[in-house]
Amino acid sequence: MFISEAVINPARAHTWLNPRAGGSGRHGSTGDSSGSSSGGSSGSSSGSGYRSGGGGGGDEPELENITSSDTGTLVTVTGGIQRSASPFSIGGGPEFTISGELFNGSRQGGGTREQVYGTSEYGSGYPGISPGGFRGFPFYFWPISWGAGPGPAYLHSEGYYGKPDNTSRPGGPMYHARLTSVTNDTRGITNTTFRIVADNYTVSELVIYLWVSCNAYLTQGINLNTSSFPVPVPLQNNSTQVEQPRPENAIRYYRASSVALTLDTYYNTAVFSPGEPPTSLPQNMDSGFKDCLDRTIGQYVPLIDFYGSNGALGFGTRPGVGIGQVALMWVVLAVIFGL
């Protein structure tokens, strides 16, 4: 059963969270991975490392080009090759040059978890490379396709990565999920709505880690709020929907600009004037919630494993994610869903 079924219907989460041998499968951890730190401000920080700073509804999504594996999830990447991806992977998938396919001559692979953080600028989040221009696919996943809209052509070009509903994209079409904090704060902090934007597979994997890790911001009680569970919905092309995230809402990109965290009340004018500094984030937003989401994305955004190819795959689990942490998350989710 694909992850999207558990995301849409939490009551079926026990089928999605079925433990797999060797510490693999789709489980989470409530602890931070080793080497993590916090600080910085969205839109201005760059480089690597675990750093922090800086809903909806709809039909059940179908995961395109995705199959289950005892070592993670097999994702069909450019070139027709299947690679194992996991929220626990340290990355570093085999690096090679694409030939005889779309993006012929481009390099893909090699990106590691320590290199996933970018800035608020589209084209950031590439290992050792400044934003702007075509940089290949260090993490195998394609950069976000925002669809038609105002702003620079590179943000909305359909010639390179296709429309948001392009099913040949590694991980499937573009999706997004809404996460809104519930805040009663004398400092003037208001309810804050963020969205995670990426391919279907990535969004479907990330939402449960974001929901569990940051649930304290999603409810005023001590129990996990199941009604706040974020439901991935398709990213529309040339949509006028208020619920649609836009590139000017992005506060940070990750994994070579294939993932974005957006803030509904943020309007970054630098998107329309490249070279300008990013607009400051709103002062009345829930910064604790933002930091939690930012940190959790860095820790659990799915990456391609560095072992094997074409289904003959190994599983590289990053240090700091032990069996005890996996077991703890399993127990927490079992309590939530009454398993």
Q: In what order do the strands lie in the sheet with 193-199?
A: 233-234, 174-180, 193-199, 259-263, 250-254
Give the whole-angstrom CA distance, residue 148 versus residue 136.
22
65 φ, ψ to 5°?
55, 35
Nearest to 237 by CA among 159, 145, 122: 145
Work out the angle at residue 75's Cα, subtended by the Cα atoms of residues 69 and 78, and round it to the nearest 5 degrees: 150
Q: What does the alpha-carbon distance between residue 137 and residue 141 come to, in Å, rounded to a whole number?
A: 6
Residue-wise pLDDT for 217-249, tens only, equals 886 544 565 666 788 999 988 666 667 899 999
pLDDT of residue 146 exceeding 80 = yes
The closest alpha carbon to 300, from 324, 326, 338, 333, belongs to: 326
- pLDDT for 304-320, tens place per residue? 988 644 433 434 444 44
Lowest mean pLDDT segment, chosen from 67-76, 139-148, 287-296: 67-76
Residue 189 pLDDT:
75
Structure tokens at 163: 């429309």
- pLDDT tens by residue, 183-195: 666 666 778 899 9
Give the range with max mean pLDDT: 24-28, 126-130, 150-154, 258-262.
258-262
First CA to last CA across the chain, in angstroms?
A: 17
pTM of the model: 0.72
Residue 314's pLDDT is what?
39
Per-residue pLDDT of 73-106, as tens digits, reads: 999 998 888 999 999 999 998 888 888 768 888 8
> How far is it, in rounded angstroms, from Cα 196 to Cα 304?
19
Q: What's the pLDDT at 46?
A: 34
Q: Please give the mean pLDDT across all residues of the chain.
A: 71
Pick from 135, 9, 16: nearest CA to 87: 16
Rounded to an integer, the average pLDDT of 254-272 is 95
* Exposure string over 199-224, b if 16+ CB within 10 A, otherwise e: bbbbbbbbbbbbbbbbbbbbeeeeeb
pLDDT at residue 60 greater than cutoff 60 = no
pLDDT of residue 137: 92
